[in-house]
Amino acid sequence: HQVHSREFEELYTRYEREGKARESIPAQELWTRIVEAQIETGTPYLLFKDACNAKSNQQNLGTIQSSNLCTEIIEYTAPDEIAVCNLASIALPRFVNEGAFDHQKLFEVTGQIVRNLDRVIDENYYPLEEARRSNLRHRPIGIGVQGLADLFHRLRLPFDSAEAALLNREVFETLYFAAVTASNALAVEKGAYSTFAGSPLSQGKFQFDLWGVKPSARWDWETLRQKVMKEGVRNSLLTTLMPTASTSQILGNNECMEPYTSNLYTRRVLSGEFIVCNRQLIRDLTELGLYSEDVKEQMVLANGSIQEIDGIPAEIKELYKTVWEIKQKALIDQAAERAPFICQSQSLNLFLENPTIAKVSSMHFYTWKKGLKTGIYYLRTKAAAQAIKFTVDESRRKQFCKVGEPCLTCSS
């Protein structure tokens, strides 16, 4: 576990030849067991150790042996160091301005978040000295996003469209450029992190260089490269994509970079259970004069899908496809497109309505070939029956969250 890539292969094959294995199992049988477990339970998570190490700015510290629980934090640990993640997420829908995405505003907000998270490192309470030592030496942070699907909805871009794929890449290029720029400015003020020397960034290698990818011409990367090599950066790691399963509810956004799993779902809180609709979809249907009790019940029966509801325009159906109606290849391709600007990793959930060993295996090999660090967080599958379907009549008496802002009871 202390080596990776070619060195791992050489040691593994040598130990095979020397007969050091205490027990053996056919590789295909082991793989089948892993995939079967994922189909049954959604886990285990899958990461690619070689990619995690080859594309890490902490590779000069030693071999990275694991991730955090959510598979997006890829940091070095040692017997005397416990890795720490200092995280914040940005609500992407807030950056829509007059029908376009405001890259300059994202640049400014990201810069402020870098400063805030760097301050957290200094002001934090550390229950263990090993955690304090690691955080102060390497000063890693992780800036992610929430509401990518909501951003696409506001800009009228179907999730699996070419336009959405391009914006996805552009957003994360801006995020990464802004984060490196701010961290470089902090290094000028306060000094580079103590283990900067020998890192890829100290050699002028950005995350996209480790991927062999060229950025767009939107930002001046070459000037920044020279500044980083000369002045350093304050933080060893900067960007990541955490799940935001809880925090996205506060601002009413969809989780992280995922499509909507449904346009209608139930939520349970202390005051009871209620049904939540995709507000942007309801707003669009209302403006078209198409939203009614009948449409609402058809959505319930279709598990939140609108694809088979008569009278809804094709462009609306295309815009509001759920994750079950989008090819998972599109999700993986988007993950790979933004990955050169994510210096940690991504909590990448994948969704299969009727998973098989062949389908799941094919998906895993595709994420590996695309060079992703995280192959999969959870494998999501559909339940045989949806409880919400059995409340269609009762749902007429339930209060729906409609066009307005969410109520306080919803807490979303």
pLDDT in tens, 264-287: 877 776 777 767 789 999 999 999
**12, pLDDT greater than 80:** yes
Q: Which of 72, 75, 173, 255 is catalytic?
A: 72
Is pLDDT above 80 for 342? yes
Is 349 a residue of the active site? no
Report the pLDDT value the prediction gives residue 284, as an integer from 0 to 100.
Answer: 96
Strand partners, 146: 91
Q: Does residue 338 carry a pLDDT above 50?
A: yes
Alpha helices in 305-371 (DSSP H): 314-319, 328-338, 357-369
Query: DSSP string covering 352-392, please?
Result: -SS--HHHHHHHHHHHHHTT-SEEES-EE---SS-GGGGGH
Instruction: Give the model confidence (pLDDT) of 348-361 as tens digits.
Output: 999 999 999 999 99
Q: Which of 319, 318, 320, 375 is nearest to 350 (CA)?
A: 375
- Residue 239 β-bridge partners: 143
For residue 204, pLDDT beyond 60: yes
Compute the Cα dihedral for 15, 18, 24, 29 and give only its sign.
Answer: positive
Whether 52 shows a pLDDT value over 50: the answer reads: yes
Length of the chain: 412
Judge residue 131's burial from the number of C-beta atoms within 10 Å of its C-beta, 0-12 exposed, 13-18 middle, 19 or more buried. middle
- Of the CA atoms within 13 Å of residue 136, those in its CB half-sphere come to 11
The mean per-residue pLDDT over the stretch 370-380 comes to 98
211 burial level (CB within 10 Å; 0-12, 13-18, 19+): middle
Predicted confidence at residue 246, as pLDDT, reads 85
Show contacts of 245-248: CB within 8 Å, 24+ apart.
247/89, 247/146, 248/89, 248/146, 248/147
Q: Which helix or strand (DSSP H or E) is residue 247 part of?
A: helix 247-251
pLDDT of residue 272: 74
Res. 307: pLDDT tops 80:
yes
pLDDT by residue (tens digit) across 214-239? 999 999 999 999 999 999 999 999 99
Amino acid identity, residue 121? I
Residues above pLDDT 70, as percent of the chain: 92
pLDDT-based confidence at residue 142 (cuts at 50, 70, 90): very high
Is the pLDDT assigned to residue 405 strictly greater than 80? no
For residues 92-103, give the mean pLDDT: 98
C-alpha angle 329/241/76, rounded to 5°? 115
- Quick: pLDDT tens for 100-123: 999 999 999 999 999 999 999 999
Residue type, 324: W
Candidates 52, 53, 70, 349; catalytic one: 70
- pLDDT for residue 386: 60
253 is catalytic: no
Distances (CA, A) of 276 to 131, 248, 257, 395: 40, 15, 20, 11
Residues of the chain with CATH 3.20.70.20: 5-231
Mean pLDDT across 51-57: 99
Residues 6+ apart with CB under 8 A from 95: 101, 102, 103, 105, 106, 109, 151
Higher pLDDT, 256 or 411: 256
| 407 pLDDT higher than 70 | no
Q: What stretch of H or E contains 88? A: strand 87-91
pLDDT of residue 401: 45
pLDDT band at 397 (very low <50, low <70, confident <90, very high): very low
Instruction: Provide the pLDDT for residue 411.
Output: 34
Residue 7's φ and ψ, nearest 5 degrees, are: -60, -40
CATH code assigned to 5-231? 3.20.70.20
Q: Residue 259 has what DSSP assignment?
A: P
CA angle 250, 116, 81 (to 5 degrees): 100
Alpha-carbon distance values, 279 to 108, 152, 154, 225, 412 (Å): 28, 14, 11, 43, 12
The per-residue pLDDT for 273 is 75
Mean pLDDT across the chain: 93
Q: How confident is the model at residue 399 (pLDDT cuts 50, 70, 90)?
A: very low
User: Of the residues 57, 68, 168, 263, which is catalytic?
Assistant: 68
Residue range 143-181, pLDDT digits in tens: 999 999 999 999 999 999 999 999 999 999 999 999 999
